Amino acid sequence: MPSRLAVIAVTLCGVCAFLELYCTQPMLPMLAHLFHATKTGVGMTVSAATLGVALSAPVFGALTERLPRKRVIVASLIGISVPTLLAATSTSLAQLVFWRFLQGISIPGVIAVVVTYIGEEWPPEQVALIMSFYVSGTALGGFIGRVSAGMLADWFNWRVSFLVIGTLAVAGAAAVAAWLPHGRRRPAPQHRTDELPAFPYQMQALLRSRRLIATFAVGFNVLFSLVGVFTWITFHLSAAPFNLSTTALSSLFFVYLIGLVVTPAAGYLITRVGLRAGIGGAIACSITGVLLTLAPSLPVVILGLTMLSSGVFISQTASQSHLRVAAPAGARVTAAGLYLTCYYLGGTAAGVVPGAFWALGKWPACVGFIVAMQLVALTIALVGWRTPKVSESAHASAA
């Protein structure tokens, strides 16, 4: 069984992959002013990164199916860091969006491969728990990236934000290279013709699975909710009656720290109650949280954001655990790549689509749309994740 350093390394993979991904969210009102851009225009600094993830994820998954897991993870961490540092050289919004897109391109080399690595290196009964530590790492990375980027931009300027975050990412890559063990329990590659190893046929086989399709759809909706709320609420809270500064907007992401505690506990609970019950409770928590952001009281809004983010982290743990159960052993990285494509297409859409609802009714209209998307996700999960009663408990424990 992998050591505690291996668990730390897996958690660091989540931290480093998500340091950069959403770091522009607290800076959006500032960037709109500096670049004289629209809200949707600066929202592209979020959507470009998630679009890069979405486009590269399935190809990355297929190409790395038989490559050494650790080598791919470390190389990808370095590939994320370099565009982050170069983003500080941007002289226009278009250039910043370009570097953000390149950041996203390398991220699947971490997050798709780590999910498979966990499933291969830990016993089945511990996968959901270790996955929860990884998801907590993604929450910590998102927290550090957003908070530090916003505060540094307010205290110095936005270029310093990218330089500091890029440097932290390089240090994290070095730690993962030192502490993450080389995989030892990886199944030997199979070459039987009935396993359809060729990428197009493998993709076709995966897309015929009802349970996988449901998992992909849930992933789309989960990230749509998180990105949609935390992107567009910055415009809501920077205006009257709240009038929050960039530093204050960054401080909102302290709610992510609650997720660091809740997610591992939820990972343990999911192994007991099952994946469908876990995802149902998590999405219900998220819906309640989004509705609370309509309150005119900042403490209530913060409570709502806490419930939303915790629900999303738990949903991600359940979805990734279900992905391992539903995907065939010889195509789990490819399945993870497809999942990430759908997941980050949700994030890409969330940076742009709610803009139409903002134009109609500002934040309340955005909330109505996001809650509707969450209800769709809940329905899909409860129906699409259904398994025969005889094997349901075994599948839940295997996750």
Tell me, what's the pLDDT at 4?
A: 83
Ranking 146-150, 205-209, 248-252, 375-379 by mean pLDDT, the lowest is: 205-209
On the question of pLDDT at 397 being above 70, the answer is no
Chain centroid offset of residue 89 CA: 26
Cα distances (Å, whole numbers) of residue 194 to 145, 190, 205: 45, 10, 11
Domain assignment present for residue 272? The answer is: yes
Left if phi > 0, otherwise alpha if psi is -120 to 50, otherwise beta: which for 157?
A: beta
Instruction: Return the higher-pLDDT residue of 115 and 179.
Output: 179
Tell me, what's the pLDDT at 394?
A: 40
Ranking 66-70, 76-80, 215-219 by mean pLDDT, the lowest is: 66-70
On the question of pLDDT at 313 being above 60, the answer is yes
Tell me, what's the pLDDT at 398?
A: 36
Long-range contacts of 162-166 (CB under 8 A, 24+ apart): 162/23, 162/84, 162/85, 162/87, 162/88, 163/85, 163/88, 165/19, 165/20, 165/23, 165/84, 166/20, 166/81, 166/82, 166/84, 166/85, 166/87, 166/88
Tell me, what's the pLDDT at 209?
A: 76
Instruction: Return the higher-pLDDT residue of 375 and 202.
Output: 375
On the question of pLDDT at 97 being above 90, the answer is yes
**Backbone Cα Rg of the chain:** 20
Task: Report how many helices (DSSP H) and strands (DSSP E) the chain contains, helices first.
Answer: 17, 0
On the question of pLDDT at 171 being above 80, the answer is yes
On the question of pLDDT at 184 being above 70, the answer is no
Which pair of tokens denotes residue 369?
Answer: 């749309």
Q: Which of 129, 3, 181 lies closest to 398 in space, CA to CA?
A: 129
Domain assignment present for residue 189? The answer is: no
Q: What mean pLDDT do residues 11-30 have? A: 92
Q: What mean pLDDT do residues 338-364 have? A: 90
Is residue 344 a contact partner of residue 236, using CB atoms and an 8 Å limit? no
Tell me, what's the pLDDT at 375?
A: 94
Tell me, what's the pLDDT at 123?
A: 81
Domain assignment present for residue 187? The answer is: no
Domain assignment present for residue 274? The answer is: yes
**Distance from C-alpha of 169 to C-alpha of 163, rounded to nearest angstrom:** 10
Count how many domains the chain has: 1
Give, rounded to a whole angstrom, the gap between the first and last alpha carbons of the chain: 17
Structural domain including 16 reads 4-182+199-398
Of 163-172, 244-253, 278-287, where does the model show the most confidence? 163-172
Query: What is the CATH number for 51?
Result: 1.20.1250.20
Percent of the chain with pLDDT over 90: 47
Domain assignment present for residue 231? The answer is: yes
On the question of pLDDT at 151 being above 90, the answer is yes
On the question of pLDDT at 195 being above 70, the answer is no
Domain assignment present for residue 192? The answer is: no
Degrees (nearest 5) of the Cα angle 150, 353, 247? 10
Instruction: Return the higher-pLDDT residue of 65 and 377.
Output: 377
Domain assignment present for residue 190? The answer is: no
Q: How deeply is 155 buried, as exposed, middle or buried, from its count of CB atoms within 10 A (0-12, 13-18, 19+)?
A: exposed
Tell me, what's the pLDDT at 391?
A: 41
pLDDT in tens, 207-256: 777 788 888 999 899 889 999 999 999 999 998 999 999 889 988 888 87
Return the axis-axis angle of helices 256-273 and 389-398, rounded to nearest 10°.
Answer: 140
pLDDT tier at 117, thresholds 50, 70, 90: confident
Tell me, what's the pLDDT at 125?
A: 75
On the question of pLDDT at 166 being above 50, the answer is yes
Tell me, what's the pLDDT at 326?
A: 79
Q: What mean pLDDT do residues 294-319 have? A: 90
Find where tokens 């330089």 sit.
163
Domain assignment present for residue 40? The answer is: yes
Find where tokens 């415009």 sit.
235
pLDDT tier at 193, thresholds 50, 70, 90: very low
Looking at every residue in the chain, the average pLDDT score rounds to: 84
